[in-house]
Amino acid sequence: MISEELSDDIPSNTLLPGLPNHLAELCLSSVHLSLLYKVSHSWRRLIYSPSFPPFFSLYALLSPSPSHQTVRNHMYDSNTNSIKFLSLDPISSIWQPLPSHPPYPPLHILHRHPMVTVSGHLVLIAATTHQFMPALSRPLVFNPIHNNWFYGPPFSMPRRWCATGSVAGSVYVASGVGSNYSGDVARSMERWDLKNSSDSKWEKKAGLKDGRFSRESVEAVGYKGKLCMVNVKGNAVKEGAIYDVESDRWEDMPEGMLAGWNGPVATMDEMVMYVVDEAKGALSNLIELVQLKGAEQMDAGRGGRVCVVCAEGERVVVVDVVVRPVRHWVVEPPPDLQVVAVHILPRMSQTVTKLS
């Protein structure tokens, strides 16, 4: 191992003395990231470069905390962007802002933000303006590897209060309300395949039997080739529906699954499902924590980490579900901000100037 003192004598563009950089990258890829971060600036730049295997980071949508809104009184100030997208770097433990998004729509007017992660992208699907109108005419997408925002194809009908989810690299939008309520829109569903860049458009799929999923923003969960969702959050009486991607068919959710859907739900690699019982603070019979009571939203990512938004956005509880005994810790948002939603994605690529 190269000491920090010796690393100062190595040229900044050299990773390992005596080895070409492409071979040095192969050697360093097996070293723990925290060591690479601490030893030298060149190694630190390497772990954030597009050529290095990306590690996973926590991405969060945040808004001003209620106390801060009261003091500043700018929740709907047209000159203030009250919505922030940040990423927590697990190596440096620093919250970093995402690059500026396109100027339209002005994100200070957004409320209820259905977002999904699909194929390593963060996709903002729908939102409601303070005039109760759909705020997005097409999805807004962030690519962390390229560190940029771009728009997806236009919706056939912009909507709010809809169900959103992803399965096998495709985004699905179901139900919802447009500028005015329409039964056709409330029963409809569309699919966008992010993997097929040559044919980027929304495809109409089998519709729901009724419009009961248009009452509020709903997170649909991709699980073993199916899209699972309920129409009401929390422990209230609810209805569930499951969409089979292969057969393009809707079916009722089994009673056992519906009865256990007592809080936020997420899947890991669309194969293992986790649910937090928001009344008990229990995560899938793995761990029960006071901090998990009242859980609002969650995501699960590769590496065995489950991240849960709790305490009205004042903290994120991170649970490592792979190790035994199960470990957990708490992440707090930056001052005067509260977390609306979290997602787990590859870390952002960064420039040399940001890391030096």
Chain segment 170-191, per-residue pLDDT in tens: 999 999 888 888 899 999 999 9
H or E element, residue 7: helix 4-7
**pTM of this structure:** 0.85
Q: Which of 207, 233, 217, 143 is nearest to 177 (CA)?
A: 217
The pLDDT of residue 197 is: 66
Q: In this structure, what DSSP letter does residue 79 have?
A: T
The pLDDT of residue 73 is: 45
Percent of the chain with pLDDT over 70: 87
Tally of CB atoms within 10 A around 305: 19
- Nearest-angstrom CA–CA distance, 45 and 194: 29
The pLDDT of residue 38 is: 84
Question: What's the pLDDT band for 121 if we cut at 50, 70, 90?
Answer: very high
Question: What's the pLDDT band for 68 if we cut at 50, 70, 90?
Answer: low
Considering only residues 338 and 303, tell me which one the structure prediction assigns the higher pLDDT.
338
Q: Which residues contact 13 (CB under 8 A, 6 or more apart)?
A: 21, 42
Question: What's the pLDDT band for 208 if we cut at 50, 70, 90?
Answer: very high
Worst-scoring range by mean pLDDT, 64-78, 197-211, 304-318?
64-78
Percent of the chain with pLDDT over 90: 53
The pLDDT of residue 75 is: 40
Compute the residue count for the chain: 356
- pLDDT tens column, 323-352: 999 999 999 999 999 999 999 999 987 653
- Nearest-angstrom CA–CA distance, 196 and 8: 46
Residue 71 pLDDT greater than 80, yes or no: no
The pLDDT of residue 35 is: 84
- Best mean pLDDT range from 44-53, 64-73, 202-211: 202-211
Question: What's the pLDDT band for 50 if we cut at 50, 70, 90?
Answer: confident
